Each structure stands twice: as C-alpha cells, then as structure tokens.
Amino acid sequence: MQRQRLLDQDPPLDLWLILDEGAVRRNIGGAKVMRPQLEHLIHASRSSNVTLQILGFEAGAHAGLVGPFSILEFPERGDSDVAYTESVGGMIYLEKEREVRACAEAFDRMRAAALSPAASVDRIQQVLAELT
C-alpha cells in the first residue's frame, strides 16, 4: 500500500509494469479477492504515469521467467540506476553497471514481447469476465 501511494505523490513516480499472464489468471483467494485486484490494475493503468503490459502465455519463454526484478531510475545524474530482485531469501540489490544493464536489456525484450497496454487491459477484462 505504501508503494502504491508513491504513484499519487506530487510529482508522481513513473511506473512501467510487465506482468506475466499467470499473475492475473492464477486464482488466489477466489473471485471475491481476485475481482477487486484485477479492477485495481485496470484503474491504475489509466493513470498517465503508469504503463501496464501483460506478457501473454502466447509469448512462450521470456526473460522474466527467471524471476521478478525491478529497475529503479533516479532523476539526478549522479545517482546510478539500481536493480533489485526479490526471492524467498530476501531482496538482492544489483548496483554494478553490467548487472543493471542486463536487467534493462531483459526488460526491453519483455516489453517487446508483451501485449500493448490497450490489449493488456483487454486481457485483464477477459479474465474478469471468466471469474465465477
């Protein structure tokens, strides 16, 4: 919830989010839990500072299958970008330029393979319609 508030601050953070289709299809908690979460994704995708893409199952193997990661870019030129990944062992921060660049290249490949933002919202709406 705290991270979500950062999207509403002034000026808001920019977020480009790519979710594997499994993340929106895996029914955790039943329709009562899933419906508001999927609706929240659709609502958030309408914000000018949020870009949401779904990596559809039809994309096959992709660079994100090794696990989730984030890339943090900072506005100050003196602040280097940082990537981090979360696992059961905790968070790992990647600060070496080659490590961050590898994550950025993986993100670019995922972005190219993912559905467009509009098609991504359509896919989420399709999943919503399938919930019973």
| DSSP state, residue 14 | P
Full-model pTM: 0.87
Domain positions in the chain: 1-56+114-132, 59-113
Give the amino acid at 109. R
Question: CA–CA separation, 5 vs 13, rounded Å?
Answer: 10
Question: CA–CA separation, 124 vs 95, rounded Å?
Answer: 34
Query: What's the pLDDT tens digit per position in 49-82?
Result: 999 999 999 999 998 888 899 999 988 878 899 9
Give percent of the chain above pLDDT 70: 92
